[in-house]
Chains A and B, each alone.
Chain A
Amino acid sequence: MHEMSVALAVVDQVAEAAGRAGDVTAVRSVRLQVGELAGVVPDALAFCFELVCAGTVLEGAELVTEAVPGRARCTPCAHEWAVGMPPRLTCPVCDGTGTELLAGRELQIVDVHWVDGGSPPAPAREPIPEER
């Protein structure tokens, strides 16, 4: 089950970024984009994530996964479609094979919500409200 390796890669990268920032005391959540064609099962990933976070600065962090549907476009006829699962990557209109995958292979860390010891900068503008 490579969700364990994927979870480790997520935790490593976040821990590294937190280490670089220097004064991170806790990580609340990590937001991931997981494409329909990324070959990763979000539930299995969430399970592994919890295990891998234990004993790190990410202990107790929540994994928020955003599913990205697979979309494709036919270069010759410009038709765009949802590829579905199992994916159809030949054009449903002209049967062409000059397909471009627009989305669906994402496996990416979007952002991280963490707590650090820094003091808030002087607000130059309205603070951005917390997401979610």
Chain B
Amino acid sequence: MCRVVDLRRAVLAKNDASAHDLRAHLAGRGTAVVNLLSSPGSGKTALLERELLRARERSVPVAALSADLATENDAARLARSGVPVKQVLTDGLCHLEAGMLAGHLDGWLPDGTRLLFVENVGNLVCPASYDLGETLRVTLASVTEGEDKPLKYPTAFGLAHLVVVTKTDIAQAVEFDEDAFRANVEQVNPGVEVILTSARRGRGVGALLDRALAAADGAPVHEPVMARSHPHHGHTHAQPEAADAMAHTHP
């Protein structure tokens, strides 16, 4: 017999549930996750190297996990800061998922870690859809990528708690239009803070650490419009066990 069965389930419900569990588990251990998203080569590792050093200087216990499609170069760079670092090879998978992250933290994340920085796979599309249980989601763009990046990747920028511009030391050379960039960010994520940094020259270094610590200490984090959605469709989290009861049948 043919049936049409109402499932009414969020496709990424499993990831969302794992992210929820991980967030609660880490909160219990006093750790907050900072999820860093950007295109390949925007300068995530370079800025993180600086922020990890700054954290060490300030005696803030931090750790970093870097996800890469294939190489261990980023972890080697980050490890020079002296903080615990782990490289995760995704074997071609273009993003991290919460369950994978939890597996990698198990048995590695040192006790007492205040902040765990996660360098996601360089990609502005896929990682945006996966909550990693982070307290702060940061999307980065370098001045060389064009002011319209936020419009081309609206979910990556629209779901960010903080937007970071990198490589401002070469902004003049590439005629980066800061006002246009800010306006584009505002269009997809009204009210989000945008900070300007140059890992090369040290500009803005420490701001990311400050924002992350504030969030970890419970200061209110920006709430993006895109994350504030209230779909009208109801019972999104209906349990599939209820499926049979709701089946429409026809012979």
Instruction: Report A's interface with B, CB cutoff 8 A.
Output: 1-2, 5-6, 9-10, 12-14, 16-17, 20-21, 28, 32-33, 35, 37-40, 72, 85-90, 97, 99-121, 127-131
Q: Which 5 pairs show the lowest CB-CB distances between chains A and B? A: A2-B126, A97-B190, A86-B151, A101-B229, A39-B155
Given A108-B11, A127-B249, A129-B250: A2 and B125 interface contact (C-beta under 8 Å): yes
Segment of B21-29, B181-189, B198-206, B210-218 in the binding face: B181-189
> How would you classify the secondary structure of chain B's contact residues: helix, strand, loop or mixed?
mixed
Q: Is the beta-carbon distance between A103 and B232 smaller than 8 angstroms?
A: yes
Segment of B58-66, B103-111, B164-172, B240-248 in the binding face: B240-248
A72 to B190, CA, bound (A): 13
Q: Is the beta-carbon distance between B4 and A5 smaller than 8 angstroms?
A: no
* Chain B contact residue count (CB 8 A cutoff): 52
A56 to B190, CA, bound (A): 44
Q: Is the beta-carbon distance between B4 and A112 smaller than 8 angstroms?
A: yes
Q: Is the beta-carbon distance between B187 and A17 smaller than 8 angstroms?
A: no
Q: Is the beta-carbon distance between A110 and B7 smaller than 8 angstroms?
A: yes
A13 to B8, CA, bound (A): 11
Contacts of A6 in B (CB 8 A): 11-12, 129
Q: Is the beta-carbon distance between A21 and B244 smaller than 8 angstroms?
A: yes
Q: Is the beta-carbon distance between A40 and B188 smaller than 8 angstroms?
A: no
A5 to B97, CA, bound (A): 10
> How would you classify the secondary structure of chain A's contact residues: helix, strand, loop or mixed?
mixed
Render B1-41 as a binary contact track against A, CB cut-off 8 A, 1 for contact: 11111111111111100000000000000000000000000
- Residue B231 is within 8 A (CB to CB) of chain A in the complex: yes
Q: Is the beta-carbon distance between B187 and A86 smaller than 8 angstroms?
A: yes
A10 to B191, CA, bound (A): 34
Query: Which residue on chain A has the smallest CB distance to residue B148?
Result: A86
Query: Which residue on chain B has the smallest CB distance to residue A107?
Result: B11
Q: Is the beta-carbon distance between B225 and A5 smaller than 8 angstroms?
A: no
B window 219-233: CB within 8 A of A: 225-226, 228-233
**B91 to chain A: closest CB distance in Å?**
13
Query: Which residue on chain B has the smallest CB distance to residue A28?
Result: B2
**A11 to chain B: closest CB distance in Å?**
10
- Residue B154 is within 8 A (CB to CB) of chain A in the complex: yes
Q: Is the beta-carbon distance between A127 and B251 smaller than 8 angstroms?
A: yes
- Residue B152 is within 8 A (CB to CB) of chain A in the complex: yes
In the complex, besides A9-B15, A97-B191, A120-B249, 15 extra interface pairs with C-beta distance below 8 angstroms are A2-B95, A9-B13, A35-B231, A39-B128, A89-B158, A89-B189, A89-B225, A97-B225, A102-B231, A107-B11, A108-B9, A108-B11, A112-B4, A127-B250, A128-B249
Contacts of A97 in B (CB 8 A): 186, 190-191, 225
Q: Is the beta-carbon distance between A90 and B11 smaller than 8 angstroms?
A: no
Contacts of A10 in B (CB 8 A): 11
